[in-house]
Amino acid sequence: MTTASQSGRGFVLKLDLRSGVPVYRQIIDQVLGGISTGSLKAGDQLPTVRQLAVDLAINPNTVVRAYRELEIRGVLATQQGTGTFITDKQPEKNHLERQRRVTQLVGELLAKAGAEGIPMQELVDYFNELKNEQNRRT
């Protein structure tokens, strides 16, 4: 796993090169996640392509691809000579994108649980217990 911190902020990018998720998707997902949680706010500057590529030990073209997709969505704006910044546009909550992300998270959870010897049924039982407990509270 490799990480890169946004200078002067609490936002940290973490890549899992063994997850099977393309690196550029991990960058996109984490930037969008940072915006939705408030870790990244409008006007915040992201590392340069070169700096992020060095910090994460990845090809700069991968960072360019992620930044370009985020620019197309209107989430990032690059100003020549000054850097790449978070815009004030909130990312759209697309149903297919959400479904893709949930599928990815479930896959990662199952892979990690399997590596620990935890069967899927045990996870399902645990989630059901949590759901029942939450229902009792409400």
Instruction: Please report, for the chain, the start and end positions of each structural domain, with discontinuous segments joined by +.
Output: 2-86, 95-137
In whole angstroms, how far apart are CA 44 and each of 11, 35, 81?
10, 10, 16
Let me know: does 86 contact 35? Beta carbons within 8 Å: yes
Digitized pLDDT (tens) for each residue of the chain, 138 residues in all: 655 555 445 678 889 888 888 999 999 989 988 888 889 999 999 999 999 999 999 999 999 999 999 999 899 999 888 899 999 877 666 677 778 778 878 888 888 888 889 999 999 999 899 888 888 887
Q: What is the predicted pLDDT for the residue at 7?
A: 45
C-alpha 75/C-alpha 90 separation (Å) is: 7
What CATH architecture does domain 2-86 belong to?
Orthogonal Bundle (1.10)
3-class DSSP state of 5:
strand
pLDDT on residue 104: 79
What is the pLDDT, as a whole number, of residue 8? 43
* Confidence (pLDDT) at 28: 92
The residue behind tokens 């959400």 is 98
28's tokens: 């996109």
Check: CB of residue 60 under 8 Å from CB of residue 53. Answer: yes
- CB contact set of 2 (below 8 Å; sequence gap of 6+): 14, 15, 17, 55, 56, 57, 58
C-beta atoms surrounding 52 within 10 Å: 22
